[in-house]
């Protein structure tokens, strides 16, 4: 879905070949998002089939790698509709981390803090890495894509803090 | 690597009524030239106590603190004051701006106390305020500024002059994420240029800028939750 509209959006700017589109999409969304050229070509073929893009006077026998695409009127209105629509909020309540901590807090004798600590260190290292990537992309659109991941990691650590606070509260209730 | 700050088995006990609280117990930590070290941990875990002791504003009950190889415990009051003014930059958790002084006067204060001329101090203060994005507010008083602006002035004061060790206790407290990032990236650049810094923060995004993260709980370093540069993903 997102690759489809990413490509459509780039074609809104100017006609382009598949390989150029791939480079540009990685540029604006950050190299952290793997995107292989095969996926780009198959998506372009579907967009063409649906009449959202068309190839410049291409020989129908040419493969997608030889074609230079441009957006159609139908493509433009499809893109505008997508831009105007909010993306449903993603929330994975069944993340492995949530399950792990819930189990750790339920199974008697588990060193819950040690579970939280290990996770904290791991996620902090991810944050350090992301921060380096973000610095390197400073000022570019890709930095915003990295920022999204920074916020995800930050949220995870805040959640670990909340878990620890809850644990501390439960312990002080227990000891009274 | 030269350690600019070194704490060896530092403990700090506080008497609270009839009980003794160990705000720090047996903490060892060294910060090298060029390093930015973040200190995290729950409220009351000893972060501010650690920073105060590192900056010679408080004393360990036992253990030793070295700044630039000098044992702080062996200094006279005057020597310690000289070291604090000359080499250390602080940003406190409660900002401690002097309300009767303008932004520039607040920032110039540590330089003037160190015997620099008023003109020179003011010029450096204005430069430091410019770096934190407060160039157009140098003659305003703290009461005329927003919380975030006061915070920037406090940071400019901590960074002014040639500090070798920066100690910042939640310097991003009143700032939104974008402004906070700017301040931390400023600390980062200072460290890259040869300073050393200890940054207390409870926000992981800022700790992401650090070379190392020291996690405190109940006054002790929790190795398992800490991150050193040799750790790998
Ligand atoms: N002057 C003091 N007298 C008595 N106890 C103190 C004193 N200063 C700090 N403490 C105690 O030492 C412990 C550590 O305090 P500290 O201020 O270092 O925590 P902190 O990690 O900075 O917390 P926060 O995140 O809330 O700022 C706390 O239990 C606190 O009550
Ligand atoms: Mg504190």
Helix H, strand E, coil C: the string for A16-30 is: EEHHHHHHHHHHHHC
Put simply, whether B80 touches A (Cβ < 8 Å) is no
Question: Distance from CA of residue B41 to its chain's centroid?
Answer: 16
Pocket of ligand 1 (CB under 6 A): B 14, 16, 21, 23, 41, 43-49, 93
Alpha helix ranges (H) inside chain A: 2-13, 18-29, 37-49, 73-84, 96-106, 112-136, 141-175
pLDDT at B176: 86
A107 pLDDT tier (thresholds 50, 70, 90):
confident
B217 contacts on A by Cβ (under 8 Å): 113
Given the CA of residue B216, which atom of ligand 1 is nearest to it?
Answer: 21
Instruction: Determine which residue's CA is closest to atom 6 belonging to ligand 1.
Output: B14
Given the CA of residue B202, which atom of ligand 1 is nearest to it?
Answer: 25
**Maximum mean pLDDT: which of A59-73, B86-100, B117-131:** B117-131
- Mean pLDDT, chain A, whole residue set: 87
Nearest to B42 among A135, A150, A164 (CB): A164
Number of Cβ atoms within 10 Å of the Cβ of B191 = 23
CB contact under 8 A, A125 and B231: yes
A21-52 per-residue burial string, b: 16 or more CB within 10 A, e: under 16: bbebbbeebbeebebeeeebbebbeebbeeeb
Put simply, whether B119 touches A (Cβ < 8 Å) is no
The more confidently predicted of residues A139 and B154 is: B154
> Between the CA atoms of A90, A94, A96 and A102, what dihedral angle is there, to the nearest 10 degrees?
130
The pLDDT tens digits for B187-197 are: 999 899 889 99
CB contact under 8 A, A124 and B202: no
Stretch A29-49: mean pLDDT: 86
Using CA coordinates, name the residue in chain B closest to A168: B42
pLDDT at B87: 85
B51 pLDDT tier (thresholds 50, 70, 90):
very high
A42: pLDDT strictly greater than 70: yes
Question: Phi and psi of B56, rounded to 5°?
Answer: 70, 25
Q: Distance, in angstroms, between B86 CA and closest chain A CA?
A: 31
B207: pLDDT strictly greater than 70: yes
The more confidently predicted of residues B138 and B2 is: B138
CB contact under 8 A, B227 and A116: no
A32: pLDDT strictly greater than 70: no
Put simply, whether A124 touches B (Cβ < 8 Å) is yes
Counting ligands in written order, the one closest to the CA of B42 is 1
R_g of chain B, CA atoms, integer Å = 17
Put simply, whether B191 touches A (Cβ < 8 Å) is no
pLDDT at A94: 65
């Amino acid at each position: 879905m997102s690759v489809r509209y990413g490509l459509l959006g780039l074609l809104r700017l100017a006609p382009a070949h598949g390989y150029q589109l791939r480079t540009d999409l990685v540029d604006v969304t950050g190299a952290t998002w793997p995107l292989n050229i095969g996926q780009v070509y198959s998506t372009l073929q579907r967009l063409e089939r649906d009449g959202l893009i068309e190839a410049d006077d291409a020989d129908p026998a040419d493969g997608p790698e030889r074609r230079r695409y441009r957006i159609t009127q139908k493509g433009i209105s499809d893109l505008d509709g997508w831009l105007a629509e909010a993306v449903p909020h993603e929330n994975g309540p069944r993340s492995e981390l949530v399950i792990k901590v819930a189990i750790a807090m339920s199974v008697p004798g588990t060193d819950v803090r040690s579970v939280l600590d290990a996770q904290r260190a791991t996620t902090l290292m991810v944050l350090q890495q992301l921060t380096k990537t973000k610095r390197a992309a400073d000022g570019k659109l890709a930095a915003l894509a990295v920022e999204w991941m920074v916020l995800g990691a930050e949220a995870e650590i805040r959640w670990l803090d909340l878990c620890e606070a809850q644990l501390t509260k439960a312990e002080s209730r227990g000891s009274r | 690597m030269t350690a600019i700050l070194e704490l060896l088995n530092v403990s700090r006990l506080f008497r609270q009524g009839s009980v003794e609280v160990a705000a720090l117990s047996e903490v060892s930590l060294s910060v090298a030239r060029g390093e930015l070290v973040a200190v995290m941990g729950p409220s009351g875990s000893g972060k501010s106590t650690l920073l105060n002791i590192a900056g010679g504003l408080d004393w360990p009950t036992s253990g030793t603190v070295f700044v630039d190889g000098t044992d702080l415990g062996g200094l006279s009051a005057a020597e310690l004051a000289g070291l604090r003014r000359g080499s250390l930059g602080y940003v406190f958790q409660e900002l401690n701006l002097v309300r009767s002084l303008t932004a520039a006067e607040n920032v110039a204060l540590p330089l003037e106390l160190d015997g620099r001329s008023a003109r020179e101090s003011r010029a450096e203060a204005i430069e430091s305020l410019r770096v934190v994005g407060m160039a157009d507010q140098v003659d305003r008083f703290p009461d005329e500024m927003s919380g975030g602006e006061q915070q920037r002035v406090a940071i400019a004061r901590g960074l002014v002059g040639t500090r070798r060790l920066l100690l910042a206790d939640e310097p991003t407290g009143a700032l939104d994420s974008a402004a906070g990032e700017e301040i931390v990236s400023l600390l980062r650049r200072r460290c890259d240029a040869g300073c050393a810094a200890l940054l207390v923060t409870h926000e992981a995004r800022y700790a992401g800028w650090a070379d190392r993260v020291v996690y405190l709980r109940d006054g002790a370093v929790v190795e398992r939750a800490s991150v050193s540069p040799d750790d790998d993903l």
